[in-house]
Structure 1
């Protein structure tokens, strides 16, 4: 029976791989780098929640559940488009794209992670945390990958909502309730996502065109995409200052103001560059900076809370 389902080791992992290579492939398949960012923003949501430290077992369970569900979503994303990944320079070496892991192996991996996530969240957090986590997983792995990405150039805008949920999920894991502050953090990641991703889409526009994926630089051109990046960078800057209304944290306000101005400045510089290799290099640089920018903002929120708790501010 196992053989008919294709679950012998050679069926699941047809490539001749070592244990280290297999572990690396599992991490790539789960999009570990993306999951790290999701977990980090969820950690901040938990730490900002009132009386979070006494609930540390629940907090750890929430993070484990988010990580496992995020990994499952990453696998679902790659299960849908291994052929498309072969057209992209940055994805063509993924384990599904080049056949090191079979579809059955990837499906089994995703199912195990998703079931484990559901069990952890159900038994050690609360139903609302589980529901939000599943919404994020389905939103990215199914709605974005199957419907939004192949059909609209605004895919990353609406699809980004799934990746914006972890701060709220972290907060809900501790409090079992909603509040304005974590919702503002969801809004922050939501408006940050297009300004973060579209520079990479500019850099990879030829690959997206070859794969027939309607990313904004392919369908509307580079100039329109750069204008949208500026708009979303400014929106990110403004939304990043909104948490101060609830925290009255001026350390965070200072860091958000300065780093946001830098982000907007990069977007404006990208818009002015003539098309060519220099623009492509700068677009990739802005994409990398945008990840650091989000880490800085969320780290500043925690530093500000600690400073206020100890009377430094």
Structure 2
């Protein structure tokens, strides 16, 4: 991988654009489209989009959501900005680790296209905007929960849990599980059983979602000295835990059907959860090798669609059954 030296220039005194050489060379290499894409990647926009979606479901399920549409919009914008700040913080800490991972080695900080100082400024701007929007358009509880999620992921998970324990994704996943509750509180200003169950659903889904990817990328994690479960406890133990959490996710996914009486959601949750458990069973049964690695990657991809389907079913049930 080609290395980059972060150099300050008259047009870029902090080295934020971070390419080496003369100012003419810098201007030649700097492309606005690439820079905007790098900002998008730094904020982990694809991950944040799932957080915003689950928060939007929490808002839609909350009573009188249409009446409080301004708070709903403020909540979504605030969550998006705060989630982006958390993503930037994660990459500020890990550029050296990212260089050892095939799926992360081309990130802007890992390749030096954006400097760490520039990323810090970017994270601060995103977080400041998030706090301002949430303070203006929602309520103190929503702001506190959003800050807790951002600090939980960007600081607690990244700095302490990820490098120190193979169960990092279990406890670190709580930060990413909060958006449904945040969406609910943006509308109501209070906590209720249904959004708490939705938080629990994402919490138990996260290990079953992430550990198949960790199996697929286990060699990279070992090279980066990150204690992911497949590296510390082996593939068989990891596959057993994926199955355990897939079953637990299936069970928890049925609770909203009993709380709301929503049989449409209940049927979709039952069938999609059975498929998810079936995938975990097959992953557990496959012999170690390339086929298992490819299937683990497929299960990771399906798990995202699975969560999206569950939350879409909740909206469908709310719209059709009231």
Contact 2:250 / 2:269 at 8 angstroms: preserved in 1?
yes
Task: With the length of structure 1 as denominator, give the TM-score of the two structures.
Answer: 0.96
Q: CA RMSD in A?
A: 1.5
Contact 1:129 / 1:172 at 8 angstroms: preserved in 2?
yes
Residue 7 of structure 1, CA deviation: 9.2
Contact 2:230 / 2:238 at 8 angstroms: preserved in 1?
yes
Q: Distance in 1 between matches of 2:66 and 2:280?
A: 39
Residue 17 of structure 1, CA deviation: 2.8
Matched, 1:25 2:29: no
Query: Match of 1:8, SS?
Result: coil
Q: How does 1:56-205 map to 2 (within 5 A)?
A: 56-205=69-218
Task: Note closer, same or farther for the CA distance 1:7–1:36 as it changes in structure 2 (3 Å cut).
Answer: farther
Residue 10 of structure 1, CA deviation: 6.5
Contact 2:48 / 2:83 at 8 angstroms: preserved in 1?
yes
Task: Note closer, same or farther for the CA distance 1:25–1:9 as it changes in structure 2 (3 Å cut).
Answer: farther
Of the three residues 12, 15, 18, the one matched with 2:16 is: 12
Residue 244 of structure 1, CA deviation: 1.3
Structure 1 outlier segments of 4+, above 6 Å: none
2:303 is matched with: 290
Residue 9 of structure 1, CA deviation: 5.8
Task: With the length of structure 2 as denominator, give the TM-score of the two structures.
Answer: 0.93
Of the three residues 270, 286, 304, the one matched with 2:317 is: 304
Query: Match of 1:11, SS?
Result: coil
Query: Match of 2:164, SS?
Result: coil
Q: Distance in 2 between matches of 1:9 and 1:108?
A: 13
Count of residues in Structure 1 that have an aligned counterpart in Structure 2: 307
Query: Match of 2:309, SS?
Result: helix
2:22 is matched with: none
1:45 is matched with: 58
Query: Match of 1:41, SS?
Result: helix
Q: Distance in 2 between matches of 1:17 and 1:271?
A: 47
1:55 is matched with: 68
Q: Distance in 2 between matches of 1:73 and 1:9?
A: 25
Q: Deviations over 1:196-251 (max 9, x none)?
A: 00000000000000000000000000000000000000000000000112110000
Matched, 1:241 2:273: no
Q: Distance in 2 between matches of 1:296 and 1:21?
A: 33
Matched, 1:275 2:284: no
Q: Distance in 1 between matches of 2:290 and 2:60?
A: 42
Structure 1: give runs of 5+ residues left out of the alignment.
none
Contact 1:7 / 1:104 at 8 angstroms: preserved in 2?
no
Query: Match of 1:12, SS?
Result: coil
Q: Distance in 2 between matches of 1:212 and 1:14?
A: 27
Q: Deviations over 1:92-151 (max 9, x none)?
A: 000000000000110000000000000000011001100000000000000000000000
Residue 174 of structure 1, CA deviation: 0.1
